Amino acid sequence: MIAVFLHHIMVLPVILPLITGALLLFIREHSRRLKSALALVSTGFVVLIAAILIYRAQELAPQADVYNLGNWAAPFAIVFVLDRLSAVFLLMSVLTAFCALIYVTAHWDRLGAHFYSLSQFFLAGINGVFLTGDIFNLFVFFEVMLAASYALLMHGSGLARVRAGAHYVTVNLVASSCFLLGAACIYGGSGTLNMADLASRLALLPEDTVLICQIGMGFLGIAFLIKVGMWPLCFWVPATYSAAAAPVGALFSITGKVGFYVILRLSLLLLENDTTGLHAALCQILFYGGLITLIVGFTGVLASQNLSRLSANSVLASTGIVLAAMGLDHPALTAITVYYILSSTFALAAFFLLIEPVERNQDIAANVLAVTMEVYGEDEEEEEDEIGFYIPATAAILGACFTLCAILLIGMPPLSGFIAKFMMITGLFWPQGPARAYILPDIQSWLFIIFLVLAGFAQLIAMTRSGIRLFWASLDTYMPKVQISEIIPIAVLLTFCFTISLAAEPVMRYLDSMAAEIYVPANYIHSVLGGAINKGE
């Protein structure tokens, strides 16, 4: 009975936000407390369900739990598939979204209409991407997410957001067109869009038909590389992320993970046993494209003059690290990469939420004067009677949060950012584990290590420079009024990073099992196309 119940709750992370978002549309905007309460309760339930599904996926491994909507048999059914990979990304997304919604209750919901409804539709689209088992519904949920994100980016209006929104919509329409063309080519060549069915058919198709499917996969790759922001398709990222409102930026920190998830899922499911060289070519594209994206990202970090641009370029640097690591194509490194994705997502979301409260107390004229004094070496007049100064509690809290975000993004010990980068480097020397003999990394691995370290130094310089100007030199600026609902979500996100730092061993054990599982496509294919587990038994 419990197994059947756990089987059926798999659809709730999609259905519950959709229903809540629709209901919120009928509540007038003046009832903000009611709307925020409903959105938070709905998202809180989804967080609880996602946590349960983490254990559900662990219990069923190496098989996946498959929900056939309408009780139709695969591959004709619309299927939801739960395994450890989808469960991890699902929990990460809903935790981040829940914190962003808490932050919105401070005053951000007053800057535009229907924020809570849009956030629920956005969450339903992302959760659907992580759970769906066929490419057509992947496209549907992808579009649901994008449609909501278009309006969310415009929340709060302003010329910068209108300009960034126009670019964002145009770029994503191109990505959607590539996605649709890719799905059409794959269906025309194979006759199916069910991922498991497609994986089982590819080896049986004639060469000319396989070529059509590969062209379709190429279009899908372009669509999701645009979404994650790989160079040279990353030009829209800095402007979009820096223009978004603080809670929207936190939500957008999840969207790139959709691309990472789909690339991991489809490349390992469809191309792991590929003999045509397409998988090797994809790995080369991911590695060198990721490396250039990393260079562009940390160069932008060094050049950033405000926190908004710094956070946007930090997204690019993080994207480059993940893509380059995925391009190295190793099961142990895949698990570490997912650990890094968890850490960077929480850290970047916290940083986006922190920017506005930190900059709320900044005086533009004082900042210009500070830069001028820094350039010309002018010293302030010393006050003989005053020794030291008092640090208000608000400044101390914001400064502590900024320091923790900096430590995580730089990759300094002892938090999860350092653990992830350290494991990446050691994993290249000891791919079979620390108990085995080490091997000398190849050229690609050395390039990855070098630029990974350089990116950390660039982030260190940029964050230190910003921290000094914000919290050390700006003594005469007034302290902002920061609400508790703005501090709590930042603290919670940083607590998540602290938790996965303390629990690195069990988390990595789970992720190692996940990586070993997705590198064996037969487990996924068997779960979807047959077996008693499909009926929740």
- pLDDT score for 473: 58
Predicted local distance difference test score (pLDDT) of residue 70 = 74
- Whether the per-residue pLDDT at 285 is higher than 80: the answer is yes
Percent of the chain exceeding pLDDT 70 equals 88
pLDDT at 272: 65
Task: Say whether pLDDT at 275 is over 70.
Answer: no
389: pLDDT strictly greater than 60: no
The reply to whether omega before 17 is within 30° of 0 (cis) is no
Average of pLDDT values for 391-415? 84
**Contact indicator for 274, 281 with CB cutoff of 8 Å:** no
Give mean pLDDT, residues 174-194. Answer: 88
Q: Are residues 487 and 106 in contact, defined by beta-carbon separation less than 8 angstroms? A: no
Q: What is the pLDDT of residue 383?
A: 46
Of 49-53, 63-67, 237-241, the range with the highest mean pLDDT is: 49-53
Alpha helices in 391-503 (DSSP H): 393-410, 416-429, 443-467, 484-502
Confidence (pLDDT) at 532: 38
DSSP H or E stretch at residue 534: none
Give the mean pLDDT of 61-75: 79
pLDDT at 158: 73
Instruction: Report residue 155's pLDDT band, with 50, 70 and 90 as the boundaries.
Output: confident
Residue 74 has pLDDT above 90, yes or no: no
Residues 6+ apart with CB under 8 A from 282: 221, 267, 271
**Which pair of structure tokens corresponds to residue 146?**
């994008």
Q: What is the mean pLDDT of the chain?
A: 82
How confident is the model over 393-408, as a mean pLDDT?
84
The residue-averaged pLDDT of 88-95 equals 93
- What's the rounded mean pLDDT across residues 106-129? 86
DSSP state of 468: I
| Section 160-173 average pLDDT | 83
Given pLDDT bands bounded at 50, 70 and 90, which one contains residue 267?
A: confident
By CB atoms closer than 10 A (0-12, 13-18, 19+), residue 143 is middle
Is a pLDDT exceeding 70 seen at residue 371? no
> Does 273 score more than 80 pLDDT?
no
Query: What are the pLDDT digits (tens) for 224-233?
Result: 888 888 888 8
pLDDT of residue 386: 45
CA distance 45 to 19: 13
Q: How many Å apart are CA 163 and CA 158, to the nearest integer?
A: 9
Residue 533 has pLDDT above 50, yes or no: no
- Hey, is 316 helix, strand or coil? helix
Region 43-62: what's the mean pLDDT? 90
In order, the DSSP letters of 24-68 are: HTTS-TT-HHHHHHHHHHHHHHHHHHHHHHHHHHHHHTTS-EEEE
The Cα 446–Cα 459 span in angstroms is 20
Q: Note the pLDDT of residue 433.
A: 57
Q: What is the pTM of this model?
A: 0.87
Strands 78-82 and 65-69: antiparallel
Higher pLDDT, 82 or 533: 82
Average pLDDT over residues 197-214: 82
370 has pLDDT over 70: no
Specify the pLDDT at position 362.
58
At 479 the three-state DSSP class reads coil
Mean of the pLDDT values across residues 256-279? 81
CA–CA separation, 429 and 439 (whole Å): 5
Helix (H) or strand (E) holding 306: none
Nearest to 406 by CA among 472, 337, 448, 465: 465
What separation in angstroms does the CA of 128 have from each of 253, 370, 490? Answer: 17, 48, 26
Burial 214-225 (b: 16+ CB within 10 A, else e): bbbbbbbbbbbb
Work out the average pLDDT over 368-382.
45
pLDDT above 80 (res 80): yes
Q: Give the max Cα distance, the chain.
A: 87
Q: What is the pLDDT of residue 365?
A: 43
9 DSSP 8-state letter: G
Helix (H) or strand (E) holding 69: strand 65-69
Peptide bond into 75 cis (omega under 30): yes
Instruction: Give the position of tokens 């709060």.
Output: 156
Considering only residues 472 and 367, tell me which one the structure prediction assigns the higher pLDDT.
Answer: 472
Q: How far apart are CA 195 and CA 229, in angstroms?
A: 24
Q: Measure the CA–CA gap between 411 and 413, rounded to whole angstroms.
A: 7
27: pLDDT strictly greater than 50: yes
Q: Is the pLDDT of residue 81 over 50?
A: yes
**Which residue did the predictor score with more confidence, 386 or 285?**
285
Q: pLDDT band at 529, cuts 50/70/90?
A: confident
Closest alpha carbon to 94 in 6, 7, 13: 13
**341, pLDDT greater than 90:** yes
Residues of the chain with pLDDT > 90, as a percent, come to 21
Q: What is the mean pLDDT of residues 468-491?
A: 73
